[in-house]
Structure 1
Amino acid sequence: MMVGGGATNSALLARAEPVAAAGDDFYLPPPLPPTPGAIVRAEPAQVAFSAPGMPGVVPAAATRMMYVSSDTHDAPTAVVGTLLQPSVPWTGPGERPLIAYAGGTKGQGDQCAPSKLMTQVVGYQPPADITFEYDLLALYSLLARGMTVVVTDYHGLGTPDVHDYLNRKSQAYALLDAARAALQLPGTGLNPGTPVALYGYSQGGMASAGAAELQPSYAPELNVRGAYVGGPVVDDEYFIGYNDGRPSIAPAFAWILNGIAADYPETRPILDAELNDTGKAILSDALGKCAVPVSLAQLHPRTSEWTTSGEPLTAVIDRNPELKSAFDEQRIGTLTPSVPVLTASAMNDEGAPYVPVREMAAGWCGSGVPVELDPNAQIPTVSGLVGTHVLAFFPSLADSQQWLTDRLAGWPAPNNCGALP
């Protein structure tokens, strides 16, 4: 793919504005009520639960719903999610719980929304944009235990707004408000006191962590019993610096910048001045792509190739106060969860770096939160598309779900705060 030479400042500004949702009127929001968690519309949905390596299908009734959430500036916004009700019984303690599930990275195009991918497993958009719903394995295992699950699409996936990838507040709000909305749907057996657990890996791990931190102030009425925070990105700027030059992760840098430009208008003229034609073309290309693309960013994985100064993005962020402030707002670990947390993060994770995860866990421990940090020491270092970050998703599936079951039973939460790995 050639890098176009005609990218202009005004073009970047236009891309920072909301884009039209594609294809399905369900995703176009009407005027919204001001109440977070309010249901705007809902309808039955068909979900594909068979995938390679999955021996059977857990029957589940699916409901697609649009609900009110809050954006990063606490203004009302529309988010779509999917409620999955298993037909198998819940055999754990107490009433059937609700798992508020935050999915891993899908991309920034509307076609990448989990509520769309769950109907087809694999999504394809010509000429070479393809992704698949790899969260199906975790969803399958949660449903097989008899847990009800609600999956958020996040802010801006499917709906007209730009998806602000790895935004601390909007992701957390979307997850908490998905639980609020699910508890209101009639005929589900759920009620305001239903036990809730937060669950996510990778992008979802950041969302779960952010939700655990914000729940005491944003959604204190939810009966949250615990949070699983798997492989989280804790600090967006650190994430960019740690992975600068890795082709498989370079598109994520563009998704982050597109989200920053959309959410923080004061950063747009800075990005216009600091990004060269290649950088602007990369942001434009990434805006409509999913997580397994052949993208322009992968051809220019070093962010020094994106900037007019030849500096990496982290240097540009550090010397621009408006950009630095916007990035600092995305850092997890500044607030204190009120529930126990299980964090799994491979020490050799090549994508979501371990050092800030450990710092986050230690900070929570210092505030009295029961935290168990699993460093996944058994995971080998593997580079490429299927790297250590992807492999580390699997060992924690059974352990994390048993951990949640124990929290639902009211057992004391284990922690290794005294000697973090």
Structure 2
Amino acid sequence: MPRSRIGHESRSTTTVLVAAVSILAASCSGDFYDPPGLRADVEAGDVLRSEPIALQEGVDGTAQRVLYVSTDIEGEPIAVSGVIVRPTGDPPEGGFPVVSWAHGTTGVADQCAPSHTEPFALDGMAEIVNNGYVLAATDYEGLGTPGIHPYLVGESEARGVLDIARAARQEAGGGNKVVVWGHSQGGHAALFAHQIAGDYADDLEVLGVVATAPPAGLAQFLQQGVNDQDFLAFSAQAYGSWAQVYPEADPATIATGEALRSGGKALEECTVSIASYIGSADVKPSDVFKADPADTAPWPELTEENTPVGDERGIPLFVAHGGSDQLVPMEGTVAFVQASCSAGEAVEFVTEPEWDHNAAFHAPMPQYLQWMSDRVADAEPPSTC
């Protein structure tokens, strides 16, 4: 799992309520994340700036924090931050293969961007980079850089994931062969990368997608926070950011008056701190929601729009989820896998009843790292369909 910076614990109920309805972009964390004006001729994947950062021990490579061009859901160019790790040595003919990593939930405040953390660390990175792969790790739109982070907005996440793979060609000798890998929120991003890669990034050869513990059943995942305090931080961040991203999403249709009156501040904390405060201050879902978003337009339509579709894209899938996952329900993943299989996609689905949310990332890692290598080697993809 990636190490992420966690903010200090919130000191007021207002901060938590703002998470539900009025998330504004936090101030940029340093000049690096403040993008230059984008020229009219910029293209997705262009690197705007980069700087070296420290890397965890045991990785035979070098890391660069990067600011690169992506595209928002309106089709406009934006700057997104991330990290690109290059293996030592010269790239082979055609460039290094690229693994594009999509991280799990850290928050929507700028300081929650994983690229802030030094040394940059990720379980599995040494095995990837030391075997001659570039690792490209997006922060996602608005996480680190100006503007709102569209939390669990699938197309935004996926564009960030695909465009940093493009940036790796310029920054780290990367080639066109790409495998996408994501966990939790990142699994959601990975499934959307599977969905849009053929249309959005046809210059990349996306050879496979690995998604572990993805919230593929997005409606069920978000409903948990409407009903249960333990999940409120996640639902609050999702609906709060959607209210900023989608003009038709009026927070007044679902938020309490107290929540609306507390609006206008940035969300300054990361997810772990928000969740901790919700528990310690006993903030209940009824303090935030006056109506169920699942029954209030346009929220169900937006949820459906951001639910990955299981279909045939000609890109093999490796999906893992645990039967003891208490954070992300496995039922949505099973439904996604079944739909993908029915459509004719090659899917390797692995699960164990004792795996919790994190075990679905760690336990099958040797299996899916080999699976990635096999995709680059053009081996026949296995399927458990």
Q: Measure the CA separation in 2 of the matches of 1:277 and 1:259.
A: 18
Deviates more, 1:66-75 or 1:361-370: 66-75
With CA pairs under 8 Å and 6+ residues apart, which has the higher RCO, 1 or 2? Answer: 2
User: Percent of aligned positions with the same letter in both sequences?
Assistant: 27
1:236 aligns with 2:218: yes
SS class of match (1:136): coil
1:274 aligns with 2:254: yes
- 158 and 353 in structure 1: CA distance in 2 versus 1, 3 angstrom threshold: same
5 Å matches for 1:154-165?
A: 154-165=140-151
SS class of match (1:392): helix
Gaps of 5+ in 1: 51-56, 122-134, 380-387
1:30 aligns with 2:36: yes
5 Å matches for 1:9-408?
A: 15-22=22-29, 24-33=30-39, 35-50=42-57, 57-87=58-88, 96-117=96-117, 119-120=118-119, 136-185=122-171, 188-191=172-175, 194-242=176-224, 244=226, 247-268=229-250, 271-276=251-256, 279-280=259-260, 287-293=267-273, 295-298=276-279, 299-300=281-282, 302-308=284-290, 311=291, 316-333=292-309, 336-379=312-355, 388-408=356-376
Deviations 1:1-51 (A, max 9, x none): 55359x89xx988x45544323x112112232465424242223212314x
Cα deviation for residue 340 of structure 1 reads 0.4
Q: Measure the CA separation in 2 of the matches of 1:18 and 1:334.
A: 33
**Any conservation in 2 of the 1:165–1:256 contact (CA below 8 Å)?**
yes
Cα deviation for residue 399 of structure 1 reads 1.0
Q: Measure the CA separation in 1 of the matches of 2:178 and 2:20.
A: 41
Deviations 1:202-247 (A, max 9, x none): 1111111110110011111201111111110114321022455555
Counterpart pick for 1:3 among 13, 20, 24? 13
Deviates more, 1:330-339 or 1:144-153: 330-339
**Any conservation in 1 of the 2:13–2:283 contact (CA below 8 Å)?**
no
- 161 and 39 in structure 1: CA distance in 2 versus 1, 3 angstrom threshold: same
Which consecutive aligned stretches of 4+ in structure 1 deviate over 6 angstroms post-superposition?
A: 88-91, 281-286
- 283 and 137 in structure 1: CA distance in 2 versus 1, 3 angstrom threshold: farther
- 179 and 377 in structure 1: CA distance in 2 versus 1, 3 angstrom threshold: same
TM score, norm. by length of structure 1: 0.79
- 251 and 318 in structure 1: CA distance in 2 versus 1, 3 angstrom threshold: closer
AA aligned opposite 2:46 = I
Q: Measure the CA separation in 1 of the matches of 2:263 and 2:106.
A: 16
**Any conservation in 2 of the 1:58–1:87 contact (CA below 8 Å)?**
no
TM score, norm. by length of structure 2: 0.86
Cα deviation for residue 300 of structure 1 reads 4.5
Q: Measure the CA separation in 2 of the matches of 1:402 and 1:281.
A: 52
**Any conservation in 2 of the 1:64–1:82 contact (CA below 8 Å)?**
yes
**Any conservation in 2 of the 1:4–1:281 contact (CA below 8 Å)?**
no
1:383 counterpart residue number: none
Deviates more, 1:288-297 or 1:363-372: 288-297
SS class of match (1:97): strand
Q: Measure the CA separation in 2 of the matches of 1:320 and 1:333.
A: 22
